[in-house]
Amino acid sequence: MKEYKIAVLGATGAVGREMLKVLEEYQVPVQKLLPLASARSAGGTVTFKGQEVLIEEATEQSFEGMDFVLGAVKNGMSKKFAPAIVKSGAVYIDNSSAFRLQSNVPLVVPEINGADAFENEGIIANPNCSSIITLMAVAGIARLSPIQSMVACTYQAVSGAGQPGLEELERQMADLAAGRKPEAKTFPTQIALNVIPHIGDELDNLYTDEEMKMQNEGRRILHLPELKVTCTCVRVPVMRSHSISVTLRTERKVTVEEAKEAVRAYPGCRLIEDYEGRNYPTPLDTSNQDLVWVGRIREDLTDDKGLTLWCCGDQIRKGAASNAVQILKLLTEKK
């Protein structure tokens, strides 16, 4: 079996660390692992397959000889290093939003449009976490009849803001328990015991860039260029796993039973009909695993061709790290 040299850019962040876990868990044949981070983190170590591996500072020379680079850094850092990665001959699987809407960069969820990954020019984009989870939940239904529109409301865990988001919620809960006034640094206001109906930067149409990702990315992933989506993104005081309420309208009427069977049979999904006495998943149910759980499938009462459902998935895993590793694994198995 061929082994691969794999770099993880941003190896010390929440998603980067999860990528290391998933690489090991998925038994990807790694000949050499290169954890890369900022100068501040260089010199430390990460654990991989029981061994301590030295973290190196990311430079434009870091990628020479690598087969794949998994990116877990923000847009600016991704754009900075992408040319050097491509020049090195490695395939860059990028978790940032830097290249998601670039026409020559495939935007891939392996279970939905895995074939697109092979049309890359050195860069493959990992979609937004909420987009991945939502589209996984509806992709089976889209096979029965093209989706024309969706109305979605996301309930996004603090893990979506990375390690600082997790730490802020923990800190605020401790402050409240101790009778102290919580301080908000990562989020615009207190998140503990609260919800914040605004994620990302507001655009001219009064939606945020986070909310527009569902439509812009959904069109590319589902190969539905006319798909219309209206979305409200809400930050909730949950550690990890995002939840989404989705109402979708299909070209022809899809019955509830047809939809259930499509979700039940779809790779990477789990239909919830009776789980611990309930017909819906929760964030806690879906944390630390890669399936998207789907429940409460029912007819939309405002449109004869509409369906409404609820889904949950782990934001750090399927919504980020695991999806990227699944893309990598798809490429290696094809080779």
How does DSSP assign 246-302, residue by residue? EEEEESS---HHHHHHHHHHSTTEEE-SSBTTBSS--HHHHTTS-PEEEEEEEE-TT
Q: Where are the domains of the chain?
A: 4-127+320-334, 131-315
Contact 165, 159 (CB under 8 A): yes
**Can you tell me the distance from the alpha carbon of 194 to that of 192, in angstroms, rounded to the nearest whole number?**
5
**pLDDT for residue 1:** 79
CATH number of 4-127+320-334: 3.40.50.720
For residue 124, the surrounding DSSP H or E stretch is strand 123-125
**pLDDT for residue 335:** 57
Pairing of strands 91-94, 123-125: parallel
In one letter, which amino acid is 19? M
Task: Collect contacts of 198-201 with beta carbons under 8 A, ≥24 apart.
Answer: 198/233, 198/235, 199/154, 199/156, 199/160, 199/233, 199/234, 199/235, 200/233
Closest CA to 79 of 99, 95, 93, 64: 99
Question: Which active-site residues does the annotation give?
Answer: 129, 242
Six-digit token pair at 138? 């509806």
* Cα dihedral value 159, 138, 246, 223, nearest 10: 90
Q: What is the DSSP string of 204-241?
A: TTS-BHHHHHHHHHHHHHTT-TT-EEEEEEEE-S-SS-
pTM above 0.85, yes or no: yes
**pLDDT for residue 163:** 87
CATH number of 131-315: 3.30.360.10
278 - beta bridge partners?
Answer: 275
217-236 burial, b at 16+ Cβ within 10 Å, e below that, comes to bbbbbbeeeebebebbbebb
Helix axes 162-177, 14-25, angle to 10 degrees: 110
**pLDDT for residue 334:** 80
The stretches in the chain having pLDDT less than 50 are none
